[in-house]
Amino acid sequence: MAVNKKIILRRIRSVKNTRKITKAMELVSAAKMKRSTEAVIGSRPYVEKLRAMVARIAQSRDISEHPLLVRREGRERVLLLLVMSDRGLCGGYNVQLARRVRQFLAEHAEGVHVDVIAVGKRAGHAAKRLGLTLKELYTNVTVSPTASHARPMVRQILEGYSSEVYDDVFLAYTDFRSAIHQVPRVMTLLPMTKMFEEFGTAPTHVFDEASREAPPAQSEAAPDALFEPDQETVLDLALTHITESMVYQALLESSASEHSARRMAMQNASEAALEMIDALTLTYNQARQAAITQEIAEISSGKAALE
């Protein structure tokens, strides 16, 4: 079958234009990923100081019966904070987290009513596909999350848990490990029984792996500290701010993971477009060479006929 050179040229131009778009999206995602990673690293010292304060209070009194720390018997209704993206074109970012949530529900929430606070349009769609009850949907958050985005979510979570509407609260997000590696994760948010559990693993020179193997050792004869107005009030505020910080950091981790996944997807798309351009160019050159050869053969045949 004859190859139409005009059609091939049109396809080459189309693929080149597409590659320009994917390359631009790759560069934009790389810049956003850098900013999100810096925000993740910058948020860590605040959480560490709050946890150290709680540990200091725990040295002088029993805090295990605090409403945000005590574990309730049985599990009838739980709340899941699900963080995904608003847009697509980010590879398997959303699909992998949805698969992890489905696995978690099958293992730990069989026969339990699950309400969902969804962050991102894709999270709302995933909640409906999984047959979960969507209580709230927050959009346009993960592109550039701020602490003000986390506060209404935390307020709704604390109200539901304190009023014993929910027995457990879980947080589903994507943990940013590196530019090419992100891990979907589901963790317990409330009750806050694992206060010093490692949260987020973005690389940082401030908190290296050696310093995070265990919390700083406290001396048994630690000097007394003055808490104003009292330890109970400080503990309530500290645990509330830790919950807020964990939600905010999950938003940052998810944002960095989303931009990283989109950068990789656009990079792969740009490379695929370049390969397609090379293949189409080769096909065009072959068709052009065949046409030239045919024209030479026709001229030679016409000349031979005249002779």
Torsion angle, CA of 169/149/198/84, rounded to 10 degrees? 70
Q: Name the token pair of 227.
A: 């808490």
Q: How far is Cα 55 from Cα 41, in angstroms, rounded to an integer?
A: 22
27 is catalytic: no
Residue 100 burial (CB count, 10 A): 16
Take residue 48 and report the two structure tokens written for it: 């560490």
CA distance 301 to 219: 102
CA–CA distance, 86 with 123 (Å, rounded to integer): 8
Phi, psi of 205, deg, nearest 5 = -85, -10
CA 297 to mean position of chain CA atoms: 62
Q: Give the active site residue among 53, 78, 90, 190.
A: 90
- What residues contact residue 258 under an 8 Å CB cut-off, 6+ apart? 85, 90, 93, 142, 174
Phi, psi torsion values for 92, nearest 5 degrees? -95, 20
The letter for the amino acid at 199 is F
Name which of 177, 149, 142 is nearest 245 in CA terms: 149
Contact of 160 with 170, CB cutoff 8 Å: no
CA dist 172 and 104 (Å) reads: 10
Place of tokens 């304060």: 53
What are the start-end ranges of the E strands in 7-151?
77-83, 113-119, 133-138
Tokens 């696995």 -> residue:
103
Give the residue numbers annotated as catalytic, written as ranges: 90
